[in-house]
Structures are given as C-alpha cells and as structure tokens.
A and B are shown apart, each in its own frame.
Chain A
Amino acid sequence: MEVIKISNLKKSFDDNIVLKDINLNVSKSEVVVIMGPSGSGKSTLLRCITFLEEPDDGVVRLGEIELEAGLQHNKQRKTAVRELRQNTGFVFQQFNLFPHKTALENVMEGPIIIKKMDRHKAKEKAKELLTKVGLADRMEHYPAQLSGGQQQRVAIARALSMEPMVMLYDEPTSALDPELVREVLLVMKELAKEGMTMVVVTHEKEFAKDVADRVIFMDDGLIVEEGSSAKMFNNPEQERTRQFLHDVSEKV
C-alpha cells in the first residue's frame, strides 16, 4: 500500500530549476534513502512533500490527503496543508528545537496545541517517547544543555509525538560531530525496525546499506537511478551514480 505518492513534482527558484519532474511512491513501512550531490534537489524534494516549499507543479498524496501544487491559498487549502503536515514528522538538519522549552515541553507541544490533547496525557506520552529515544534522564533539560545528538533525538521524539504516517529526515546527522552520529542513526534504525515509513536524505552510506529498502540517487533535479541498496552500491547502472559513490568513498 502506498503511503506517499508524488507525481510530476516541479520546483524552481527564480531561473534555477531544482526539481525537474519527480515521481516517487513510498509504501507502508518502507525506508527510502535519498542520496546525491549537494544541489541535486534532495532537500527541496523533502521540503516540497510537506509544502514547506510550495511546489510549482505536481501532486502530493499522503494516505487519503491529496494536495495539488500551485492552487490558491484559501482557508480550505491551508487546512489541507496543515492536515498533511500533522501526518508527516519532519526532522531538520539543525534540529530546530524550541530553545525556550525543556525537552519534555518540546515533545508535548504538538499534541497539546495542535491535537488539543489533555496536558497530563500529553506529558505521559512525551515521557514515553523520550525514554524510547534514550533520554529518560534528560527530560527537564533545555536544548542548550543538550549535545547535538541528544537534541536531534529530542527532535525525533517531537516529530513522533504527532503520530505521523511517515517520517521525513533532512540530513539528520550532517550537523553533528562524528562521535554523535551513531546514537541518532541507532534511534532511526530502531524506528525502521518497528515498521515506521521513512524517507531519509543522508550521506551515511552504512546506514543506507543497513536500513534502506530502497536507495534513490538524485542529480540535477531528477531521480537518476533507484534500487535496492545492494544493487545501488555494488552494481549501479548509471555513470553519474558510480561517479558520486566513488567521490563520497574517496579517502583523502
């Protein structure tokens, strides 16, 4: 069953065409890893899925929610965009935790404000989620008191608090010191095992090999090639994929 269905997605910034014509389906519980050189449109694709960037053209479908690009921003439309976003958990490269709230409050915020959940219930749920990402002893800490890896795990818990149908990760470990990358990837891997549908933009090859059901290689606003991680890493068909994989594995 498809959770996400993206059809003919196009996006330009002024004269710069970032997404040329993207078609992508993601099935339930599938983990899709998107790789590609910087400027290839990976992040923009992810941001277009939740309309953080409004696509110029195309259709995004998430479960029963369908959004066509380029329509007028009336009330009905805004409600639909919000509904789409409530069902997608977005994890940012820079975490973007709310600095004036504790870890616990960060994770309670969505359920209380958006879902109008009872405060007590939201708190219990937030505790559960923070325990799950290994931060049971950091709940009362403010983001500034946490390491990057811990902050990103809070951000994952915050995204999970809305019980999304899919998790989108935009280079979740790129802003982290190398020794903190693992703890975040482990949490993501655990979620994948539990059957969470995920789309991950990352440069972490090992993670892709280990967790991805499908690897997509993007370049120049197009999906150049896709397939199982085994095929993509051992036996890529396209010259551009080969070149990219060669470049990222090049030891200095």
Chain B
Amino acid sequence: MDFSIIIESLPPLLNATLITVLLAVVSVVFALILGFFTALARISKIKVLKAIGSFYISIFRGTPLLVQIFVIYYGLPQIDIELNPIPSGVLALSLNAGAYLSESFRAAILAVDKGQMEAAVSMGMTYGQAMRRVILPQSIRIAIPTLSNTYIILIKDTSLVSVITVTELLQMSTLIIAKTFEPLTIYLLAAALYWIVITFFTALLDRLEKRTSRHVA
C-alpha cells in the first residue's frame, strides 16, 4: 500500500466529508421541523391534519430513499421543477428522515404520563401552554435515543445522493479511485471517515441524553 496516495487523497476526502456533514446537518434540521409538526398533526383531533400526516409518513417510509432521490432530481424537471443536486439531496433526505422522526416524536409525546397534561390543564393552562411547558420538554428527553438513531442513519444515507452527482464523501472517493486505481485504500479511508463522523455525533447525542435525564430517577 502506497502511503503517498493516502496523503494526497486526504485533503479532497476531508473536503467531501464536510459536504457530507453539511448535507446531514441541514437535512436533519429540516427533518426535525417537519417531523415535529407532522407528529403534532398526527396527535391532533383535526381529521384532515391527521390524514395528511399519515399519508406523508406512509409515502416516505413506504418507498426507497434512492427512488425518492430519483423522483426529485430526475423526475421533477419533467413538470418544470428543476433543483440543483444539493438541494435535491437535502429535500429527499429531509422528507425521508422527517417521516421517521415524526414517528419518534409522536411516540415520545404519547409516552409522557397522562397525569402531566391533566396537572397542567387542571391549573388552567391552555393546551398549547401545557404542550410547550410540560409535555414537550419531557418528550424530547424520551425521543433523544431514537432521534440519534435516525440521525446516524441519515448520515449514512447521504452517501446515496452520490448518484445525483453531489460530490460528497462517497462520490469523491469514486472520483479519486478513477485516477489512482486504489479502491481498497480509498474506500477504507472513506469508511474510516464515516466512522469518525458518526462516532463524534453519537458521543455528542449521548451526552445530550445524559444531560436531559439527570433529574429523572
């Protein structure tokens, strides 16, 4: 194995890792917002909202992410919606992860003891106040483990957007291999970089989980 190849490939690979992290972070922010409101829609008493939420979840959990990426990037231009590769990737990843996150949120909200809502409204809080002040702070703590899980999967799924020419970590590796003919070295390097990124975020989320549960027996 030639070490100079590693040294030469590392800077472009690290740059590409930044793109990967960026894709993951931006997508997870949108996914969290989307997932949160979908969860609220799903537990609301308004039937239309409920139905829209369920439909969205069913579509994005029921089809492969790769197909969703193709539909957005190659399909939408046919009806005159043309998105660049990165926005297409972010859109697909957000919509996909949002569907999973909304289920985590919904489960977490429902997991908060029924007595908490009763205690809040029995004092005279509105539903919104009770949600904001009492239910959601507790459900976020409950949701963190499944949320980290979804986020880790999302980081790995960013590799799928390589198929629409986004030069993230995997795509960059493939490009370098085309020049160097060292697939084993380069792909292992890419794997190591994915592992480092994911380990970093896992540790961060573990700490967040510990921090939020310190007062709870």
Contacts and interface: CB of A to CB of B under 8 A. Distances in A.
Interface residues of B, number: 21
Contacts of B133: 109, 113
Contacts of A94: 115
Contact of B129 (A114, A144, A155): A114
Contacts of B217: 144
A162 interface: yes
Interface residues of A, number: 27
Contact of A110 (B113, B115, B124): B124
Contacts of A97: 119
B125 interface: yes
A62 to B, nearest CB: 12
Contact of B115 (A96, A100, A145, A159): A96
Nearest to A73: B45
A110 B129 CA distance: 10
B115 A114 contact: no
Given A94-B115, A96-B115, A86 B215 contact: no
Contact of A162 (B118, B124, B129, B137): B124
B119 A98 contact: yes
A190 interface: no
B123 A99 contact: no
Contacts of B120: 98
Given A92-B119, A94-B115, A114-B129, A99 B124 contact: no
Contact of B119 (A88, A96, A113, A144): A96
A83 B125 CA distance: 10
A100 B215 contact: yes
Contacts of B141: 100
A110 B123 contact: yes
A228 B96 CA distance: 66
B78 interface: no
A86 to B, nearest CB: 3
Contacts of A85: 121-124
A90 interface: yes
Interface in A94-127: 94, 96-100, 109-110, 113-114
Contacts of B126: 78, 82
Interface string A71-92: 0000000100011011010101
A42 interface: no
Interface in A215-252: none
A50 B133 CA distance: 21
A86 B129 CA distance: 14
Interface of A: 50, 52, 78, 82-83, 85-86, 88, 90, 92, 94, 96-100, 109-110, 113-114, 142, 144-145, 155, 158-159, 162
The 6 closest A-B pairs by CB, nearest first: A86-B124, A144-B217, A96-B119, A96-B115, A142-B215, A90-B122
Given A82-B126, A100-B215, A113-B129, 15 more contacts: A52-B118, A85-B122, A90-B123, A92-B115, A96-B118, A98-B119, A98-B120, A99-B215, A99-B216, A100-B138, A100-B216, A114-B125, A114-B129, A144-B215, A159-B123
